């Protein structure tokens, strides 16, 4: 069991246990005392740790502000596709958005560098980069795009490749593989460089695309595969850990500027606190969900990551992206993970 010291809520090691906690903010109505009412959108299922921890932050914010700030949570792309939600956050249609770095890269290209293929060997390297100079640089670019961004990135996890048609164990196995990727240049480039056939599709359309065989497979972290039941339309998962991805919590700049400093600090601090807890949730779930998915008929394939990385190197993948991002940012990443 994992105990969250801030909320006192016990969490089981699997999503089934996490799902026991309701999203108290969903469907809530505006409090009479609320001076600021924000919409908080995510693309994940209500049982995903992103939403469970966001709900905790929302409850703490309501309490700490004496009800002056009311935040309503809208999970599972209720308010639009991932790319639609970025536009809404910029325009003010929503005030807060939890969005994958791979998707945000369509607006802020440097966000895509988090998804550099086979760059991060483990979580120690991830958090050293994201809470250090590399993360500071990317956050500054998000701010320049016109969005407000909180300090701590959330954990989307290491992404794995799932399939309904073939067992993928080597770079040769992935050649010609029709795989869904996010609308994200880095991930499209990665799979093209491996010889696959990537198709960008918004996540709210992924299940049907897999079900109708528009694509053979997809790539996501295990918690997302589990909570959205993609295992129903896939039969194997290759543990590639090909990229780590994170969720940025961004906001409409005008909305955050409208908050008095003390209230803005509360909102940001509580969201950051939930980010730290959510990072641990996803890491632990990724360790335990393999057994849960196997019980649902999923076969797991362990791969040699070094072979995939060498294929990328020979294709010119790293050299190409270094040229696009520039030496300054590329070197900040290499300072943590070593030469690519």
- CATH code where residue 21 lies: 3.40.190.170
84 and 221 both lie in a single domain = no
108 and 201 both lie in a single domain = no
Q: How many domains does the chain have?
A: 2
177 and 271 both lie in a single domain = no
For the chain, give the longest Cα–Cα distance: 62
Q: From CA 98, how far away is CA 319, in angstroms rounded?
A: 31
CA angle 13, 17, 18 (to 5 degrees): 90
Residue 315's domain spans which residues? 160-243+292-337
177 and 314 both lie in a single domain = yes
Render each residue's pLDDT in the chain as its tens digit; 340 residues: 333 333 333 333 444 444 433 444 444 444 458 999 999 999 999 999 999 999 999 999 999 999 999 999 999 999 999 999 999 999 999 999 999 999 999 999 999 999 999 999 999 999 999 999 999 999 999 999 999 999 999 999 999 999 999 999 999 999 999 999 999 999 999 999 999 999 999 999 999 999 999 999 999 999 999 999 999 999 999 999 999 999 999 999 999 999 999 999 999 999 999 999 999 999 999 889 999 999 999 999 999 999 999 999 999 999 999 999 999 999 999 999 999 9
Q: What's the token pair of residue 89?
A: 């956050």
170 and 232 both lie in a single domain = yes
237 and 173 both lie in a single domain = yes
pLDDT digits (tens, 9 = 90+) for 20-69: 334 444 444 444 589 999 999 999 999 999 999 999 999 999 999 999 99
236 and 327 both lie in a single domain = yes
């Amino acid at each position: 069991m994992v105990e969250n010291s801030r909320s006192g809520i016990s969490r089981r090691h699997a999503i089934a246990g996490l799902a026991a906690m309701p999203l108290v903010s969903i469907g809530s109505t505006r409090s009479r005392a609320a001076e600021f009412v924000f919409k908080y959108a995510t693309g994940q299922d209500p049982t995903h740790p992103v939403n469970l921890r966001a709900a905790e932050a929302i409850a703490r914010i309501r309490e700490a502000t004496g009800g002056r700030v009311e935040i309503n949570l809208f999970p599972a792309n209720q308010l639009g596709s991932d790319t639609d939600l970025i536009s809404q956050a910029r325009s003010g249609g929503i005030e807060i958005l939890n969005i994958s770095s791979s998707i945000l890269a369509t607006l802020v290209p440097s966000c895509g560098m988090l998804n550099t293929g086979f760059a991060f060997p483990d979580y120690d390297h991830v958090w050293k980069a994201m809470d250090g100079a590399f993360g500071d640089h990317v956050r500054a670019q998000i701010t320049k795009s016109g969005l407000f961004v909180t300090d701590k990135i959330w954990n989307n996890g290491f992404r794995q490749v799932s399939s309904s048609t073939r067992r993928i164990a080597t770079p040769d196995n992935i050649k010609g593989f029709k795989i869904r990727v996010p609308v994200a240049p880095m991930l499209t480039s990665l799979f093209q460089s491996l010889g696959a056939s990537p198709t960008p599709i918004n996540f709210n359309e992924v299940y049907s695309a897999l079900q109708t065989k528009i694509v053979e497979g997809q790539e996501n972290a295990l918690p997302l595969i589990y909570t959205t039941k993609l295992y129903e339309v896939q039969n194997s998962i290759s543990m590639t850990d090909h990229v780590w991805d994170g969720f940025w919590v961004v906001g409409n700049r005008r909305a955050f500027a409208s908050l008095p400093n003390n209230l803005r600090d509360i909102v940001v601090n509580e969201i950051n606190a939930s980010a730290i807890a959510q990072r641990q949730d996803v890491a632990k779930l990724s360790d335990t969900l393999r057994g849960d998915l196997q019980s649902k008929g999923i076969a797991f394939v362990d791969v040699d990551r070094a072979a995939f990385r060498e294929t990328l190197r020979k294709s010119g993948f790293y050299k190409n992206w270094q040229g696009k991002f520039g030496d300054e940012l590329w070197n900040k990443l290499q300072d943590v993970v070593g030469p690519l």
